[in-house]
Structure 1
């Protein structure tokens, strides 16, 4: 067997490995669920899933001051990406920018009353999709194990 055939065989085994399959399954499920949520939020509330994520962050603790930089870090967006997103959300009346009291170079973002109203509608729509597509297909005992395992994975990623 020449080197090329050996490499082909090894590549075939690697591509078909359980680890590649299982991780691919996780990514496919997460991507499809995110797409389903995004479609419902756009149709029913006029916002994207990413906008919903911003509103979650802003509504979680309303008195907390949240900078654009912090939002970008929380959502893993670039500074340009978060700026464009906040621009669109501000144009839609969902958020407003305010100067940071302690640092005039920094900009804080807060939800408007309209943004909070849209968030509440979106949270209900989000919950329906998550219940139907993420919770219901899994047995209750398995669901608890799955969410604990995901938390453990997330913690391990934070620690490394």
Structure 2
């Protein structure tokens, strides 16, 4: 038999139904659903995952920049082993190549191939279309500007706290 007093059940229900829990849950659900839409469209139309696109974005952002697997892992918040497996799959697909660092041969640098750059351009167009449809278009222009500004403020606060 449950001997928990009723007021404890009410306190638990209030906490579970709080505005902060609801609002944060809405953010996470929306971001997850958007990511799933992007990933599905990329797999269907380009044959790559959203995570692979994130790698290609990072590699194509500054042409000629040397990017190590460790930097990719940090930038994409992946584990070292997860990054290695991802780069293995991308290398097998002809999207990237690894080269040893001239400064430290223990460090593998990753660069996009010609096919990787072409795949990136196709995927970037798909990504933009899905983001426009589900992230931008549902909002009024002023609301979109406020949302992106607020998200930037949140990101900055989290980065400042971590540093």
Range class of TM-score, shorter chain? over 0.9
**Matched residues in 2 for 1:137 and 1:58: separation?**
31
CA RMSD of aligned residues (A): 0.9
Deviation readout 1:8-65 (Å, 9 max, x if unpaired): 1111000000000000000000000000000000000000000000000000012110
In structure 1, runs of 5+ residues without a counterpart are: none
When the two structures are superposed, what TM-score results if normalisation uses the length of structure 1? Answer: 0.98
Partner of 1:4: 5
In structure 2, runs of 5+ residues without a counterpart are: none
**Matched residues in 2 for 1:41 and 1:118: separation?**
10
**Matched residues in 2 for 1:82 and 1:62: separation?**
21
When the two structures are superposed, what TM-score results if normalisation uses the length of structure 2? Answer: 0.96
Partner of 2:129: 128
The alignment status of 1:149 with 2:155, answered yes or no, reads no
- DSSP-derived class of the 1:87 partner: helix
Query: Structure 1: which 4+ aligned runs deviate by more than 2 Å?
Result: none
Partner of 2:55: 54
Partner of 1:13: 14
Partner of 1:44: 45
- DSSP-derived class of the 1:77 partner: coil
Paired residues, what number? 159
